[in-house]
Chain A
Amino acid sequence: MIDHIKSVLLTILILTSFVQSGILLYTSPSYEQVLTPDDYSYPHKIVKESFEKQGVHEIAAPSQILIHQNGKHQQIPGNLEKSQIRNLLSNVHLTELTRPQKVTPSNKDWNNLMAKKDGIELRFNNNLSPEIMQAFFTTDLPKPDLRSVSRVWIYQNAAGDQSARFISDETGKTVQYKATLESFADLIKVADKLNAPFLSATLPKKNSGAIPRPLYLPNDPLAVQQLRYPLKKITINDLKLALFPDPNLIEKKLTLDRATMYTDTTRTLQHNTAKNLITYNRPDSTTESEFSLTDQLDLIQQFMRRHEGWTGNFLLDDIENDPDQVTPFFRFRLYTNGLPVFWDGGEKITPATLRLSAVGKGVTSYDRSLFYPALQPDKKATKVSYLPDKKELLAELDRKGISLEKKVTSIYPGYRTDIKDQAVTFIPTWIIQLEDGTRNYVEKRSPGR
């Protein structure tokens, strides 16, 4: 018996020896995973090809650019795909603006400005915050003492002195800057180079003292391309890979009837499967932000660029202030062929709109549709369409009972959409922006003209 116990003890001793060797081996640092450069990866892109925004100024760019030259008016579509326009915007963006001062120009002065001085008028769709101007120009721009900015008019007098007027149509106030825009004369020639149509200014009758806001309409029917784009869809998986730092940690947390929620505990991604919309949220506890709108746009720009979120040329359309949130929501609109796209349907978020907000160190919310029109149109389906001329348009407005003086804030060409067979047709239309915020469309009256 004792011999057996001894044998067992000896065996245990030898086994212990092996176990200790194992422990020694096991407790050594583990280097199973070899660190290779492949560990690093570029942030996931949700589309193969996106629209490249070269800076925040290309997000905060004006929706319309008007060139006033020798008393003539031409509108340049904000088509950033065209190098001349991008170059123009880049130069304008770099305009040095100093010595702001509030001015109250007389009507004569305004008329003189329109009729006799060469200038570049930048029109923004909505009355945007003066800070947005800092985003478009530079942060060094002394913020204009205005509640909102509707237009920026850069002009040059006969002596060659340049000035810029920041106009708030909302308040009827103007702040003038001393401007320095390199190659001003060359820049305004871009309109001719692009064969931009000549427009005639129609000045609705306003109350006295109000800053004149002419409507620039063509005397001849306006030729605009009707385009058809394949409608593409972003997969939810691509978005998960793009929006979460480590996709391995994502859990499918909540599944409702028409929505699925994904989270990694620090951020959520809600997928509305019925409407093919997503809402991305990254909660931020920052209560007071020292970040300017420009900073926020910069964050948005970085965020969108990182995952190729700009599926088209989106421009800042509006800023929504939410009392429950420190920072506002930025609404962006799709511009195709330099013209704004208005998607059919009553949804706030459509393939033509994006909504983002940023606070602290990044984007906190991101709403978008999973569908998007491709960057390249179907060339076979592309055709030129003619929008009604000034006369026809005004007659149509008259017929519709829309008073230019009281209701219309602006009229500009744009697109509305028509979806068929997984493709979307961008139909040219006059956009009549009304003061109550609604829009009206006036399309061609006589096809083939």
Chain B
Amino acid sequence: MKFFKWLRLFNSVQWKMVLIYISLLLIAIQLIGVYFFQELEDFYVGDLEVRLKRQADLLISPGGMAKELAKPQLNSAEKRKRLNKLLQNIYILDKGSGQIVQLLDQDGVVLSTTAENKSKIGQKNPRVTSVLRGVNTNDTQFRRGPNNQPLILYSKAITENDQVIGAIYIEAPMKKTYDTIRTINNKLLQISLFSLVGTAILGIILARTITNPVKEITEQASEMALGDFHRKVAVKSNDEIGQLAAAFNHLAQHLREALSQNEEEKGKLESVLTNMNDGVIATDDRGCVIVINQRAGNILGRTIAKGDPITQALPLSEPLPFPLVEERQAYLELNREDEDEPTVVKITFTPIRRSEETVGLITVLQDVTEENKLDRQRKEFVANVSHELRTPLTTIKSYLEALDEGGAMEDPELAKRFLRVTRQESERMTRLIHDLLQLSRLDAQKVRFNRQPVAIEEILSDAVERFSISAEQKNIDISFRFNDHLPKIYGDRDQLDQVLDNLISNAVKYTPEERSITVSARRRSDGFVVVAVSDRGIGIPQKDLALIFERFYRVDKARSRNMGGTGLGLAIAREIIEAHGGSIDIDSRYGWGTTVHFTLPPYVPEVIR
């Protein structure tokens, strides 16, 4: 492990640079060293060789050993003595330097030597063979002596008439020469070593100046990877490193902005998802939930976590195939215990495609309960209208057929009665159509209200007055009560009259004889005028109260129809009151009576402005 740690350390740019730097320097020093050492050695050894050559030339020179060696001698012993004496006399150069000079005959046998040990005389010296053979006139060899000291061996042929007659052999110690070379080399090595250490330190510093900013940038990049985009790299120079640092800071800033925008967009998207009326569930290609908004949970009435399979989140009757190839729709009914009606959810599955490959699924959940309800109400409304229109038409048709075919015309009384009924039914139809048209216009907001500041007590008083006769006919006491300080209201008198007519007429209709009806008005604390029409009539069952303002809703359909009601009066009243900015509601106790309240906003001139 330690090895790999060290390896990793040397794998850094800094150490690589230092290593390369030192390697290059080392190579340069070696290159210089090789040639310097070589040249130095060549110089000193060459110098020594020249000295030995000079020595040998001096010994061989005319008048020297060559002449003596070539000279015929009667007695070989005497000749050797003379040669020996001559050698000692001529050997002047470098005397005392430890050199050994030998004179050899043509067979390489030592004739004379300057060495103190004369035992070599008479022996063959094998190192002069090449010069004795005439291959070279002189020869230089390098050896180590018995005491391991380096030696230079120089031999030179002695010739006469171009024939080798002997040789001079010089054996010189090279210790001094090599000591000198070594001293110079050591100096050079020391200087080189100091230079190497110095430059290595400089190399480290240089490498650090380059790698430290890079390290800093790397650290910042790591911080950025962890999400911190606010740190900056110090730009210390304007060189490439400085430019890199500046570029990195620029990049960080751009990334920060881009991420900020991204976050913002993400927030928006989340906001949209959160506030969507539809539920959204996104899954990956395996059907695991990756995105879900709150609305989806609300619609489904359960908590769905990310990562849950969508098949568990949605209790579908048929399993959903993955991956989904095309868009699909499904409906889901959720029965909730606390609600009377089941919640109907429309589910749209849309595959997410990327390059022809399905990578996920978007599921949109829409609560279509209200839509279904409205649709049902529309259908019911159409059925009601059809029924309400067909009933008088059937009556009219049957009476007219009776008149035409039954001979009722012959009985004037009967005919008159038949015609009256026919007229009543047609009038009812007319009213019905009138009411329907009015409701339609109110729904379409096509009714133009001629709103003006009017005194409510006046309207109420007139309405009570209009029904006073019919009340009296049923011996019903109708009264009107109001506060003195009722504010004016801002409304359409005709429309309000219609509302009051509907309400008072209903009160009269459903109030038995000798009972009372009270119309009252008061000012509420917020300034609104509260109008109440109370009767002591038959009342409305509690279960019908919630639906009493629905169109064509009747508590007792037959009775109502007989009384000439269209079933649209209260609905029209509600539309008108709400169009005036007020509200309407009803309190009733079956068998005790009913009170309908409605409010109207007061006239405030500033509001108009």
B-facing residues in A1-25 (Cβ within 8 Å)? 10, 13-14, 16-17, 20-21, 23-24
Residue A295 contacts which of B74, B107, B123 (CB distance < 8 angstroms)?
Answer: B74
Q: Is the CB of B146 within 8 A of A291?
A: no
Taken together as a complex, chains A and B put the C-alpha atoms of A34 and B123 apart, in Å, by 18
Residue B129 contacts which of A30, A246, A291, A361 (CB distance < 8 angstroms)?
Answer: A246
Q: How far is the CB of A357 from chain B (nearest CB, A)?
A: 15
Taken together as a complex, chains A and B put the C-alpha atoms of A139 and B125 apart, in Å, by 31
Q: Is the CB of B151 within 8 A of A35?
A: yes
Which residues of chain B come closer than 8 Å to A13, judged between CB atoms? 20, 23-24, 27
Instruction: Report the stretch among A38-46, A100-108, A428-436 that lies at the interface.
Output: A38-46
A121 lies within 8 A of chain B by Cβ: no
Q: Is the CB of A361 within 8 A of B70?
A: yes
User: What residue in chain B is nearest A360 (Cβ atoms)?
Assistant: B163
Taken together as a complex, chains A and B put the C-alpha atoms of A27 and B144 apart, in Å, by 16
User: What residue in chain B is nearest A9 (Cβ atoms)?
Assistant: B20
Which residues of chain A come closer than 8 Å to B539, judged between CB atoms? none
Known: A43-B124, A246-B133. A34 touches B73 (CB 8 A): no
User: What residue in chain B is nearest A266 (Cβ atoms)?
Assistant: B133
Q: Is the CB of B105 within 8 A of A298?
A: no
User: What residue in chain A is nearest B152 (Cβ atoms)?
Assistant: A29
User: What residue in chain B is nearest A290 (Cβ atoms)?
Assistant: B72
A273 lies within 8 A of chain B by Cβ: no
A200 lies within 8 A of chain B by Cβ: no
Q: How far is the CB of A63 from chain B (nearest CB, A)?
A: 22
Known: A41-B123, A42-B122, A361-B106. A291 touches B34 (CB 8 A): no
Q: Is the CB of A17 within 8 A of B133?
A: no
Which residues of chain B come closer than 8 Å to A37, judged between CB atoms? 146
Which residues of chain A come closer than 8 Å to B127, judged between CB atoms? 39
User: What residue in chain B is nearest A24 (Cβ atoms)?
Assistant: B34
Which residues of chain B come closer than 8 Å to A34, judged between CB atoms? 143-146, 148
Taken together as a complex, chains A and B put the C-alpha atoms of A37 and B117 apart, in Å, by 11
Known: A266-B133, A285-B161. A295 touches B72 (CB 8 A): yes
Q: How far is the CB of B60 from chain A (nearest CB, A)?
A: 14
Known: A42-B123, A291-B72. A14 touches B23 (CB 8 A): yes
Taken together as a complex, chains A and B put the C-alpha atoms of A369 and B122 apart, in Å, by 26
Q: Is the CB of A245 within 8 A of B23?
A: no
Instruction: Report the stretch among B37-45, B310-318, B395-403, B586-594 that lies at the interface.
Output: B37-45
Known: A20-B34, A39-B126. A361 touches B74 (CB 8 A): no
Q: Is the CB of B33 within 8 A of A24?
A: yes
A265 lies within 8 A of chain B by Cβ: yes
Which residues of chain A come closer than 8 Å to B145, judged between CB atoms? 34-35
Known: A35-B144, A139-B74, A265-B133. A306 touches B30 (CB 8 A): no
Which residues of chain B come closer than 8 Å to A27, judged between CB atoms? 34, 37-38
Which residues of chain B come closer than 8 Å to A43, judged between CB atoms? 107, 109, 123-124
Taken together as a complex, chains A and B put the C-alpha atoms of A40 and B109 apart, in Å, by 9
Taken together as a complex, chains A and B put the C-alpha atoms of A21 and B148 apart, in Å, by 24
Q: How far is the CB of A76 from chain B (nearest CB, A)?
A: 26
Which residues of chain A come closer than 8 Å to B33, judged between CB atoms? 24
Known: A37-B146, A295-B74. A360 touches B160 (CB 8 A): yes
Known: A16-B27, A245-B133. A294 touches B74 (CB 8 A): yes
Residue A36 contacts which of B31, B73, B146 (CB distance < 8 angstroms)?
Answer: B146
Q: Is the CB of B150 within 8 A of A31?
A: yes
A284 lies within 8 A of chain B by Cβ: yes
A286 lies within 8 A of chain B by Cβ: yes
Residue B126 contacts which of A41, A42, A284 (CB distance < 8 angstroms)?
Answer: A41
Known: A23-B34, A249-B133, A306-B107. A40 touches B27 (CB 8 A): no
B166 lies within 8 A of chain A by Cβ: yes
Taken together as a complex, chains A and B put the C-alpha atoms of A134 and B74 apart, in Å, by 9
Q: How far is the CB of B138 from chain A (nearest CB, A)?
A: 17
B134 lies within 8 A of chain A by Cβ: yes
Taken together as a complex, chains A and B put the C-alpha atoms of A290 and B153 apart, in Å, by 34
A301 lies within 8 A of chain B by Cβ: yes
Which residues of chain A come closer than 8 Å to B74, judged between CB atoms? 56, 134, 138-139, 294-295, 298
Taken together as a complex, chains A and B put the C-alpha atoms of A56 and B74 apart, in Å, by 9
Q: How far is the CB of A270 from chain B (nearest CB, A)?
A: 19
User: What residue in chain B is nearest A248 (Cβ atoms)?
Assistant: B129
Residue A31 contacts which of B106, B109, B142 (CB distance < 8 angstroms)?
Answer: B142
Residue A286 contacts which of B20, B110, B161 (CB distance < 8 angstroms)?
Answer: B161
Q: How far is the CB of B73 from chain A (nearest CB, A)?
A: 7
Known: A302-B76, A361-B106. A40 touches B160 (CB 8 A): no
Which residues of chain A come closer than 8 Å to B215, judged between CB atoms? none
Q: Is the CB of A245 within 8 A of B161?
A: no
Q: Is the CB of B107 within 8 A of A360?
A: no
Q: Is the CB of B37 within 8 A of A24?
A: yes
Residue B123 contacts which of A29, A35, A40, A285 (CB distance < 8 angstroms)?
Answer: A40
Which residues of chain B come closer than 8 Å to A10, judged between CB atoms? 20, 23
Taken together as a complex, chains A and B put the C-alpha atoms of A24 and B41 apart, in Å, by 11
B203 lies within 8 A of chain A by Cβ: no
A96 lies within 8 A of chain B by Cβ: no
Q: Encode A92-127 as 1/0 by CB contact (under 8 A) with B.
A: 000000000000000000000000000000000000
B567 lies within 8 A of chain A by Cβ: no
Taken together as a complex, chains A and B put the C-alpha atoms of A257 and B398 apart, in Å, by 168
User: What residue in chain B is nearest A135 (Cβ atoms)?
Assistant: B74
Which residues of chain A come closer than 8 Å to B122, judged between CB atoms? 42
B75 lies within 8 A of chain A by Cβ: yes
Taken together as a complex, chains A and B put the C-alpha atoms of A40 and B110 apart, in Å, by 9
Q: Is the CB of A361 within 8 A of B105?
A: yes
Which residues of chain B come closer than 8 Å to A306, judged between CB atoms? 107, 109
Q: Is the CB of A245 within 8 A of B150?
A: no
B601 lies within 8 A of chain A by Cβ: no
Which residues of chain B come closer than 8 Å to A35, judged between CB atoms? 143-146, 151, 153, 171
Taken together as a complex, chains A and B put the C-alpha atoms of A35 and B171 apart, in Å, by 10
Known: A10-B20, A13-B23, A292-B72. A31 touches B31 (CB 8 A): no
Q: Encode A382-410 as 1/0 by CB contact (under 8 A) with B.
A: 00000000000000000000000000000
A183 lies within 8 A of chain B by Cβ: no
Residue A298 contacts which of B34, B41, B76, B150 (CB distance < 8 angstroms)?
Answer: B76
Q: How far is the CB of B93 from chain A (nearest CB, A)?
A: 22
- Residue among B70, B142, B160 with the most chain A CB within 10 A? B142
Q: Is the CB of A29 within 8 A of B150?
A: yes
B26 lies within 8 A of chain A by Cβ: yes
A264 lies within 8 A of chain B by Cβ: yes
A197 lies within 8 A of chain B by Cβ: no
Taken together as a complex, chains A and B put the C-alpha atoms of A42 and B108 apart, in Å, by 10
Q: How far is the CB of A254 from chain B (nearest CB, A)?
A: 19
Which residues of chain B come closer than 8 Å to A295, judged between CB atoms? 72-74
A-facing residues in B47-77 (Cβ within 8 Å)? 69-70, 72-76
Report 27 cross-chain contacts, Cβ distance below 8 Å, ordered by A residue: A10-B20, A17-B23, A20-B31, A20-B34, A24-B37, A30-B142, A31-B150, A34-B145, A35-B144, A35-B146, A40-B123, A41-B126, A42-B123, A138-B74, A245-B106, A245-B133, A264-B133, A285-B161, A295-B73, A298-B76, A301-B76, A306-B107, A360-B160, A360-B163, A361-B69, A361-B106, A361-B163
Closest 3 CB pairs of A and B: A139-B74, A31-B144, A295-B72
Residues of chain A touching chain B, judged by Cβ–Cβ distance below 8 Å, are 10, 13-14, 16-17, 20-21, 23-24, 27-31, 33-37, 39-43, 55-56, 134, 138-139, 245-246, 249, 264-266, 284-286, 290-292, 294-295, 298, 301-302, 306, 360-362
Beyond A35-B153, A42-B124, A362-B106, list 4 extra A-B contacts (CB 8 Å).
Answer: A41-B126, A266-B134, A290-B72, A306-B107
